[in-house]
Amino acid sequence: MAYGREMSRTFDIVPLRSLAAVAATGGVSRAAQSLALTQSAVSQHLRRLEREAGTALVRKEGRGIAFTAAGEELLSHARAILAAHDAAVSRFTAEVSDTIVIGAAQNSAAVVLPLIMSSLREGFPGAEVRFHLDRNATVRSMLDSGRVDVAVTTRVAPEMTPRADGFRLRWLWSAHCPQPSADEPVPIVAFSAPCTLRQPSFDAFSGTPGGWHVTAEVNDLATGLEAARAGVGAMLVPVLDRLPDGLVGLDGAPTPPAIQLGVAYTERTRADVRETVTAVIGEHLGTDRVEMLHNRSFPMPA
């Protein structure tokens, strides 16, 4: 009987997409927004995956959630499955349906997706709109291979004046743990390479009395935010107005550089799609904070 159950396990695409969205956006609420689902639906998807896996995949941590070791392992498989699935769907439905696939860097997904999701669905009512959330380098590569139509990526813009409010980078720290003193090394939670925000994270405290040291490297936003909530270290994150639950600004942190969003496209990208995405982001974040360029014109993240 146990053997039969083992052989019949199925991880369906829709719950796997919810799992990946939770990791990319940092929580159930933002994942639900990005997928145009209710929070209850996303939570049900997670429970369904846990029943199939036979083990817990996420756990509550403060006001947020964190991935278990099994959850991290399934997340890795989920991303590979979703990438293969979306590539197959794109290949075999391109001629019979109108599908728009937006690739977005996960470090800014919580800011980007709520802005463009409803506008695209309203502007292209006959199209199926899908999102793929991953690392900057991955969505840029997917754009080159035709698996996404545009890639919304982040770019550190040191030539621009940093903002004091609105869309900007901020150093975040646990709301429940004492902050480091000025003369001790700042612990940093960093995205693993390649990532646009990795080097700026290290550069920020290089000239300070205490310096810095890496206490955690993460592959997705949700894990990084949970590490920061737990007091593991400070994390450099794009924000709009509201900070993620359980996190506050890091006192005395150097002012981060300005940040822009880039809408990268190729010859295959529909002009109305790339222009709509650029216009919507510019309307909410400021036209100076978004640029639209051919994919070859954007430098790859270090």
Q: What is the pLDDT of residues 116-162, one digit of tens each?
A: 888 888 888 888 888 888 888 888 888 888 889 999 998 898 889 99
Name 4's Cβ contacts closer than 8 Å, sequence gap at least 6: none
**Tokens at residue 191, please?**
């995205």
Round to whole Å and give the CA distance between 220 and 231. Answer: 17
CATH 1.10.10.10-classified regions of the chain: 1-95
Task: Tell which CATH architecture fits domain 168-257.
Answer: 3-Layer(aba) Sandwich (3.40)
pLDDT for position 37: 79
CATH of the domain spanning 1-95 = 1.10.10.10
CATH of the domain spanning 98-154+263-302 = 3.40.190.10
pLDDT tens digits, residue range 153-207? Answer: 988 988 899 988 889 999 999 999 999 988 889 999 998 888 888 899 999 998 8
Amino acid at 260: Q
Round to whole Å and give the CA distance between 172 and 60. Answer: 20
CATH 3.40.190.10-classified regions of the chain: 98-154+263-302, 168-257
Amino acid at 293: L
What's the DSSP call for residue 255? P
pLDDT for position 222: 84
Round to whole Å and give the CA distance between 284 and 41. Answer: 28
Q: What DSSP string describes 87-131? A: HHHHHHHTTTS-EEEEEEEGGGHHHHHHHHHHHHHHH-TTSEEEE
Name 270's Cβ contacts closer than 8 Å, sequence gap at least 6: 100, 149
Name 208's Cβ contacts closer than 8 Å, sequence gap at least 6: 182, 186, 254
**Tokens at residue 210, please?**
């205490």
What's the DSSP call for residue 234? B
Pairing state of beta strands 150-156 and 128-134? unpaired
Name 125's Cβ contacts closer than 8 Å, sequence gap at least 6: none
Round to whole Å and give the CA distance between 138 and 218. Answer: 16
Q: For residue 232, which phi and psi values (nearest 5 degrees)?
A: -65, -35
Round to whole Å and give the CA distance between 185 and 248. Answer: 19
pLDDT tens digits, residue range 84-109? Answer: 887 777 666 544 447 889 998 887 87
